[in-house]
Amino acid sequence: MRYTNKEQLECLLALDMARENNLSVLDMVREQCRIEGDRKRMAEVNSAVELFLKDKADMGIAKTSLRTLRSIVSRFAVVFDGRLLDEVTHSEIKQWVQDIGLATRTKNGYVKEVKNLYNWCVREGIANTNPTARISAYRPSIEELEAKENAKEILTVQEVRTLFANANGAVLPRLAIMLYAGTRPERESASLTWDNIYMDDGILHVPASKAKDRRERYIKMCEQLVNWLAYCKQHNLTLPVQNWDAQWAELKDTLGLLGRWPNSCTRHTFASYNISKYGEELTKNTLGHGNYEMLFKHYRTLVHPHEAEEYFNLNLRCEQLVA
């Protein structure tokens, strides 16, 4: 076999380079062949994102979760369009998140979803490494901490008393469940029926089909909730509550919070008072969290123990409050 002058020159240059680095020319070529082989099976970011989202949809991820996931990883795909997954570095991902100008909590959410994308791609064999593994969680700034401390996230005991005082009979079962069981205010609270409540056992059952994470759980009801539901059942109040949205808006308006209602306010309210009175473990299990991370990050507004006692011992007489 004859070699061209160019090929002979390249071989000599490669040999010189190998000698300078104390390497074997053959080993260098083998390594490059391996790299090129890997590249052929590696996916580009765009195609990987499409496959990832399709798989999540096929697996039955909740629509709201899928919508959030799609928004984040699609933005990632636009920025790194045409790049192979393994070509994107952790520094580039950090810079991308930083440049968007997000709050710390949202930054961590973006990193989490991109990390999930890469973990899936590694399992599928279309990526070798996950660059986000080297990205630590962002810590909130002093300004963000101060803003959080000043923000309204839970209801005061007086505000809870006002809600019950102004609630008509129809909304009481769901209102009591949200404030004294901490069920998620939309999907879980809206779909619970009396069949999910076992008064004799003092427990409330959240079926997997109604839970956000598709995992069923039992909630041990506190005495306050048992008393409210016993009254509601005695007066044949229905679950689920009909015409809830309009009546709920009226109740929010009594507190002057219509249009300014904090996110998941009733769930945050329950969690904060419940931690103070009954501890972290029971609260975590009641909320349906698999670990303490979510609880400590998003559901822990500090309340004084005496406020928690007052919350769970509100002196409310149902006969006076229900029309």
CATH T-level assignment (fold) for domain 157-321:
hpI Integrase; Chain A (1.10.443)
Tell me if 164 sits within 8 A of 225, measured CB to CB.
no
Nearest to 253 by CA among 187, 159, 142: 159
Q: Would you give the DSSP letter of residue 60?
A: T
What does the pLDDT look like over 258-315, one tens digit per residue?
Answer: 888 888 899 999 999 999 999 999 999 899 887 777 777 666 677 899 999 999 988 6
Read off the tokens for 317. 């007489």
The token pair at 264 is 């998941």
CA neighbor of 13 nearest in space, from 4, 25, 1: 25
**CATH superfamily to which 45-145 belongs:** Tyrosine recombinase, N-terminal domain (1.10.150.130)
- Mean pLDDT value of segment 188-205: 95
pLDDT in tens, 94-134: 999 999 888 888 898 999 999 999 999 999 988 888 999 98
Q: Which ranges in 86-141 belong to alpha helices (H)?
A: 90-100, 104-124
Cβ-based burial of 92 (10 A; exposed 0-12, middle 13-18, buried ≥19)? middle
pLDDT of res. 17: 81
Distances (CA, A) of 7 to 12, 21, 22, 156: 9, 21, 22, 80
Rounded CA-CA distance 33/85 in Å is 19
* Spatial CB neighbours of 208, under 8 Å, sequence gap ≥ 6: 214, 215, 216
Q: What pLDDT, on a 0 to 100 scale, did the predictor assign at position 306?
A: 93
Residue in this structure with the two tokens 């991109």, named with its chain if needed: 114
Give the residue-averaged pLDDT of 158-162. 93
pLDDT of residue 19: 83
